[in-house]
Amino acid sequence: MVGALDGLLVLDLSRILAGPTATQLLGDLGATVIKIENPKTGGDDTRSWGPPSAETPDGKSDLSAYFMAANRNKYSVAADLSTQEGQALVRSIASQADVVIENYKPDGLVKYGLDHATLCAAHPELVYCSISGFGQTGPERDRAGYDLMAQGFGGIMSLTGDPDGPPMKVGVGIADVMCGMYATIGILAALRHRDATGEGQHIDLALVDSQIAWLINEGTNFLASGQEPVRRGNAHPNIVPYDVFATKDGHIILAVGNDRQFRAFCAAMDRPDLADAPEFATNPDRIANRDAISAAISETLAARHSAEILELLQNAGVPAGPIHTVGEALNTAQAKSRGAVLDVPHPDTVAGRVELLGNPLKFSKTPVTVRQPPPRFGADTDRLAQILGARRR
């Protein structure tokens, strides 16, 4: 089955998470992705970021769960960029590529002749995406960047965690993942421009820039008010009630988005007094009296079981839901029906298969496919010519 990006060749010089997230997504959409890995280091750093890892017959698994999360639909080619042979191999792939993506420090590839200026001059139709911690310009450009540093520098940690607790990172590498998403969008936009004009271009993308961009309402809250946003735990800065509440046997999420839903919540919970109270009548009123309304709701919900509350609120059309563990989330009937988990054959593992997270995109004409499992290091080096020759043009 032909994917939306079938025939596209991506040269992947990235590692860890932001770049690999982008190239995996392009691969899911049908592109041929050649991942270059350094034989001196044993490949992508995340290959050793385990356990857990998939068990391999040689007992030396380089398929950590972390690596597998972002490296399906790719071919692994070993090449040492510090050697003339490695540079020549990468240049030969670049000469056929539509896209190059890398996440070296700014100017880190200049000494190898693989930087954007050199390759784009040789191949004007090339789309070349550079991902770095702080971007190709600015006073911080030479600083190394990792997800945790980006979350701290970009402000999201100041908003995350309990109000009285320390700044807290998001539970997964969200700065990396969102940067990878922006990279994918930018690459697709640049490809459309190239197809219309014949001209490629360079995309300069920074972890910190993308993290600041998705401060979204909290960023504009500051710009509009001049007041620093504060940590509110699970509460929302602009909507009340929108929080996690304890019940008689656990916790639930209550996400009241408008005044109609608030009145429906009060009716479902037998609290007409809250609906009728002028200090709670509108969302701005509830924000002004956040502590009082939150205390009243907490008292009400603590007296009932979670299942009872959720059934009543669902029937009333009030957004509310459970809080699943990761295992529970992946095993819900909804997740299973939507393909949240993929069972992928993998001949290089003892089990002969690996389980991976699915792609959420559902196309009616060009569905996402998994054509290659996450590769062992250098698995495709010897058959690179065959891979390049087999791809659709």
* Active-site residue (options: 28, 44, 98, 176): 176
CB within 8 Å of 44: residues ≥ 6 apart: 15, 16, 20, 35, 37, 67, 71, 377
**What is the phi/psi pair of residue 295, to 5°?**
-65, -40
CB within 8 Å of 16: residues ≥ 6 apart: 44, 45, 46, 103, 146, 176
Give the Cα separation of 28 and 30 in Å (integer). 5
Are the C-beta atoms of residues 254 and 242 closer than 8 Å to each other?
Answer: yes
**E strand residue ranges, 256-393:** 320-321, 341-345, 353-357
- The residues facing 206 across adjacent strands are 132
62 is catalytic: no
Give the Cα separation of 121 and 309 in Å (integer). 63
The candidate with the shortest Cα–Cα distance to 68, out of 312, 321, 298, 377, is 377
The candidate with the shortest Cα–Cα distance to 393, out of 2, 6, 26, is 6
Token code pair at residue 117: 């200026």
Are the C-beta atoms of residues 10 and 74 closer than 8 Å to each other?
Answer: no
Which value, to the nearest 10 degrees, does the dihedral of the CA atoms of residues 62, 68, 72, 78 take? -30
Residue 135 has, within 13 A of its CA and on its CB side, a CA count of 13
**What is the phi/psi pair of residue 355, to 5°?**
-100, 135
Cα-Cα end-to-end distance for the chain:
15
Catalytic residues: 176
